[in-house]
Amino acid sequence: MAKKYIHVNQHKIRSNKKNGVNEPVITIKEGRTNTYVNEIEVLGPCRIRYGGNDKPILPCGARVVIETMADYKIIQPETWVKMELDHDRKEER
Q: Does an H or E element contain 89, and which?
A: helix 78-92
- Which of these, 63, 83, 52, lies nearest to 5 by C-alpha position? 63
The answer to whether the CB of 69 falls within 8 A of the CB of 33 is no
- Which of these, 59, 26, 22, 61, lies nearest to 42 by C-alpha position? 26
- Entry pTM: 0.77
DSSP label at 20?
A: T
The answer to whether the CB of 69 falls within 8 A of the CB of 4 is yes
pLDDT at 80 over 60: no
In this predicted structure, what is the pLDDT of residue 54?
Answer: 84
- Percent share of the chain, pLDDT over 70: 82
**pLDDT band for position 55 (50/70/90)?**
confident
**pLDDT band for position 91 (50/70/90)?**
very low
